[in-house]
Amino acid sequence: MIKIDLHVHTSYSPDAAINPKTLVEQLHAHPFIKAIAVTDHNTVEGYEKAQALASAYPDILIIPGVEISAINGDLIVLGVTELPPEPWSVENVIDFAKKRNALTIAAHPYRTRGLGDLTRNCDVDAIEVLNGAAPSQVNKLAESLAKEMELPGVAGSDAHKADELWTVYTEVQASSGLDEILKAIKKGMVRVGSTQKSIRF
| Identity at 125, one-letter amino acid code | D
Beta bridge partners of residue 131, listed in sequence order:
156
Angle at alpha carbon of residue 165, lines to 52 and 37, rounded to 5°: 45
Footprint on this chain of Zn ion (rule: CB under 5 A) = 67, 158
CA 122 to the chain's CA centroid: 17
Least distance to Zn ion from the beta carbon of 175, Å?
Answer: 27
Residue nearest to Zn ion (CB): 158
Q: State which residue, 33 or 174, has the beta carbon closest to Zn ion.
A: 33
Please, which residue, 5 or 158, has the CB nearer to Zn ion? 158
Sheet holding 103-106, edge to edge: 153-156, 126-131, 103-106, 73-78, 61-70, 33-38, 2-8, 168-172, 190-194
Closer residue to Zn ion (CB): 68 or 174: 68
Least separation, in Å, of the C-beta of 9 and Zn ion?
6
What is the C-alpha separation between 129 and 146, in angstroms, rounded? 7
CB of 40: closest distance to Zn ion in angstroms?
8
Q: Which is nearer to Zn ion, 55 or 112 (CB)?
A: 112
Cβ 158 to Zn ion, closest distance in Å? 4
